[in-house]
Amino acid sequence: MGNTWRGLHLFQLCLILHTGAPGFSHSYNNRYDGDKVIRIVPKNDKETHELKNIYHQLQVDLWQPSSIGNIWKDTLTDVHTSNISSEVLLSYLRQANMDYKILVNNLQKVIEKQDTSRVKRRRRSLPHYHYEEYNSLEEIEKWMHHMNKTHSNLVNLFSIGTSYEGRPLYVLKLGTKPSSFKKKSSKREIWMDCGIHAREWIGPAFCQWFVKEAVTTYKTDPVMRKILDLLYVYVMPVLNPDGYRYSWTHDRFWRKTRSKMRFNCYGVDANRNWKIHFCEEGASYNPCDSTYCGPYAESEPEVKAVAQFIYKRRKFIKIYITFHAYAQMLLYPYSYQYDAIPNYKCVESAAYKAVQAINSAYGMRYRHGPASYTLYLSSGSSIDWAYNIGIPYAFAFELRDTGYYGFLLPEGLIRPTCIETMLAVKNITMHLLRKCR
């Protein structure tokens, strides 16, 4: 390929990046060139200990689990390492005779491949809304205003506060107004949030999908009709807008918020920042860690705004659902301890049926159970907080996949992921309407 041609080609690509879609510059200045994702399962306590040590020294980016404290023997760890660190880690693993698998050999290449295919597709399909693509924060905000304008009978958009960097914290309220004779009894409510962790892009994509399904199937699908007639559903597509935007513009694997902390480190893990057993097991006091709990509970304006909103409406909100990735799990409280919740039977049967519903679509297997047993111990999480203030059903989805693509779930998998997740969410909602207490 001649240099001039290549230059021209690049120039055209840049033009598309800058004119076609906002926030599209996430090849991230080649920052992931040579980076690897490596999966290691320590077989015994000695290996576990050594692995923790070397992760600590190399300051790796843990994809699974999210903190070094949650590494145990026989649990898999997916770790993202820089070009240099991966050399050190791999030679150590070979010397120590530990099993490993390289999941991604060059992360930059994977990101660029996904970017390029998205740009091509967009050129073909503008100006429609892109439910089978990842959308930038600006695109999602534009879409929210559009939904509000075009579906005012079912959708009501409002902001519950502002993020650290001053962005509005938008929430969509879905549902029909109760007919006048029913007005005395207020409708029960459901809360759903996505994008609490910035790099888990499938979350916001699902929240958008849910809203799309609500407005397009209200008239034809009796289940959706029932949900929107009998309940209000609050959908917050991007709980952590600063972090989400940053994951598009600077660091694809950013997890936290963007508030400035000590030691020149940024961000708090917004799922360790809730006022429930704050900063105990599975959370870090170090501002530079990816599971940093923050200086105090609700220090993050995003968490505080959501907590205040839900707390005020705790008499009405019966279901809290938060969407994460990746692991393919449906989790419920407790996260911070190994005890069973008081209404375990009802919650467990709702989760079991929801997971079956997921399986019925494409045969995907989801594990389900208390977050502590099923995933790992974590404190200050949103489901524990929601449950603690009296919301009987609190769930956290860990959407697809189980590590093959990890956070880089291809856009081709948005559709099946959302279709199966819709079935689960509807199932949980109908479970509430059938009154299991």
In which region does residue 10 sit, left (phi positive, over 0), alpha (psi from -120 to 50) or beta (all else)? alpha
Query: Which are the contacts of 130, defined by CB distance < 8 A and separation ≥ 6?
Result: 122, 139
The sheet with strand 367-370 has its strands ordered as 155-162, 168-174, 231-236, 188-194, 317-325, 393-399, 329-332, 367-370
As measured in angstroms, the least distance from the Cβ of 419 to Zn ion is 21
Q: Which of 175/282 has CB closer to Zn ion?
A: 282
**Long-range own/partner contacts, residues 45-51 (CB < 8 A, 24 or more apart):** 45/73, 47/73, 47/96, 47/98, 48/72, 48/73, 50/96, 51/77, 51/98
Q: Under rule CB under 5 A, how many of the chain's residues touch Zn ion?
A: 2
Counting contacts by CB under 5 A, is residue 304 touching Zn ion?
no
Q: Which of 175/333 has CB closer to Zn ion?
A: 333
| Contact call for residues 380 and 278 (beta carbons, < 8 A) | yes
As measured in angstroms, the least distance from the Cβ of 258 to Zn ion is 16
| Contact call for residues 431 and 351 (beta carbons, < 8 A) | no
As measured in angstroms, the least distance from the Cβ of 277 to Zn ion is 18
Counting contacts by CB under 5 A, is residue 256 touching Zn ion?
no
Judged on CB neighbours under 10 Å (0-12, 13-18, 19+), 94 is exposed
The stretch among 27-35, 92-100, 196-204, 408-416 that binds Zn ion (CB under 5 A) is 196-204
How far is CA 399 from each of CA 13, 204, 362, rounded to the nearest angstrom?
32, 11, 14
The stretch among 160-168, 194-202, 305-313, 409-417 that binds Zn ion (CB under 5 A) is 194-202
Q: Which of 218/407 has CB closer to Zn ion?
A: 407
Judged on CB neighbours under 10 Å (0-12, 13-18, 19+), 368 is buried
Q: Which of 21/399 has CB closer to Zn ion?
A: 399
As measured in angstroms, the least distance from the Cβ of 203 to Zn ion is 8
Q: Which of 167/197 has CB closer to Zn ion?
A: 197
Q: Which of 197/368 has CB closer to Zn ion?
A: 197
Q: Which residue is nearest to Zn ion (CB)?
A: 324
Counting contacts by CB under 5 A, is residue 199 touching Zn ion?
no
The stretch among 214-222, 297-305, 317-325, 376-384 that binds Zn ion (CB under 5 A) is 317-325
The stretch among 114-122, 159-167, 190-198, 257-265 that binds Zn ion (CB under 5 A) is 190-198
The stretch among 13-21, 191-199, 219-227, 292-300 that binds Zn ion (CB under 5 A) is 191-199
In the set 36, 256, 324, 426, which binds Zn ion (CB under 5 A)? 324
How far is CA 369 from each of CA 35, 388, 391, rounded to the nearest angstrom?
34, 17, 17
As measured in angstroms, the least distance from the Cβ of 278 to Zn ion is 18
As measured in angstroms, the least distance from the Cβ of 418 to Zn ion is 17
Which residues belong to the active site? 398
The stretch among 232-240, 241-249, 316-324, 405-413 that binds Zn ion (CB under 5 A) is 316-324
Q: Which of 167/324 has CB closer to Zn ion?
A: 324
In the set 26, 39, 197, 400, which binds Zn ion (CB under 5 A)? 197
As measured in angstroms, the least distance from the Cβ of 324 to Zn ion is 3
Task: Using only the alpha carbons of the chain, give its radius of gyration.
Answer: 22
As measured in angstroms, the least distance from the Cβ of 228 to Zn ion is 28
Q: Which of 60/196 has CB closer to Zn ion?
A: 196
Which residues in this chain contact Zn ion in the complex, by CB under 5 A?
197, 324
